[in-house]
Amino acid sequence: MPTLLITGANRGIGLEFVRSYAESGWCVHACCRHPDKAKELKEIPGDVNVHRVDVTDELQVANVARSLRDQPIDLLINNAGIYGPRTGFGEQDYQAWSEVLQVNVIGLMRTVERFVEHVSQSELKRIVNISSQLGSIARNRSGAAYPYRTSKAAVNMITKGLSEDLEEKGIVVISVHPGWVQTDMGGVKAEITAEESVAGLRAIIDNLTPEQSGHFYSYDGTEMPW
C-alpha cells in the first residue's frame, strides 16, 4: 500500500486526511506538534505512525526525515497552517504576521526540502500544498487578511516553482483550496465538513496526472485562478 506523510495531523482537515487514507489501507505518517495530546489521532485504526513535528523547528523536521530515510513517501500533504491576526488595514501586528509566514511558507518549504528524496523514491511521487482561495490574487475583491493572504499566495508561488524544479524527478506538485471548512480555523458557520472537503480533495489527489503539476484546484475539482 502507498504511504502518506502529512503535517498538522491532530485536528481539522489534517485529522480527516489521516482517517480517510488509513481507512483505505495506506501507511500514514501523521505529524503533529504534541503527540502526547493527540488523543483523537492516536485512536484512528490502521497503520498510523505519529511523529512530533513543529514545521518551524528545523531539528524536529530533520529528525523525522532521518528516522524515515529509505522509506518511500508516495504523497506528502503540507497541511499545517495558521490564520494569524484577523486585523484590517492600518492595524498590522508585524511580529504575528512574520509567525504566519514562518509556519505557512517557510515551514512548508522546509518540509518539502527534507522529504523530497522520500517522495522521489516512491511510486506515486505527489506533493499537495494546502493553500486557500484567500491566496488567489485574482479572487481578492475584499482586501484585509494580509498575513494569511500573503502566506497562501506565497504557497502558490512555491507550488509553481516546485513543479518546475521537481519535474525531472517525476514529482507532481499542486496547490489546493479545501473549501470553507468547519474546523477551528474555519469556524462553525463554514460551508462544508472536513469529511466533504477531504472526499473532494481525494478525488483530485488520487487521480493526478503529470500535466496537472503546477496547478491550483478547489476541492470541488474546478481550477482556481492564481
Q: ∠ CA(27), CA(204), CA(32), 5° rounding?
A: 40
- Least separation, in Å, of the C-beta of 159 and ligand NAP? 13
17 forms part of the interface with ligand NAP (CB under 6 A): no
Phi-psi region of 76 (alpha: psi -120 to 50; beta: other; left: phi over 0): beta
Whether the Cβ atoms of residue 41 and residue 65 lie closer than 8 Å to each other:
no
Alpha carbon distance 73, 58 (integer Å): 19
80 forms part of the interface with ligand NAP (CB under 6 A): yes
132 forms part of the interface with ligand NAP (CB under 6 A): yes
7 forms part of the interface with ligand NAP (CB under 6 A): yes
Q: What are phi and psi of 36, to 5 degrees?
A: -60, -30
Contacts with ligand NAP by CB under 6 A: the residue count is: 31
79 forms part of the interface with ligand NAP (CB under 6 A): yes
Site for ligand NAP in 134-163 (CB under 6 A): none
Alpha carbon distance 49, 64 (integer Å): 11
The interface region with ligand NAP, picked from 8-16, 110-118, 167-175, 212-220 by CB under 6 A, is 8-16
The interface region with ligand NAP, picked from 114-122, 163-171, 182-190, 215-223 by CB under 6 A, is 182-190
Reported residue count of the chain is 226
184 forms part of the interface with ligand NAP (CB under 6 A): yes
Spatial neighbors of 136 by CB under 8 A, at least 6 apart, are 153, 156, 177, 216, 224, 225, 226
**Residues engaged in binding ligand NAP (CB under 6 A):** 7-8, 10-14, 32-34, 53-56, 79-82, 103, 107, 130, 132, 177-178, 180-181, 183-186, 190
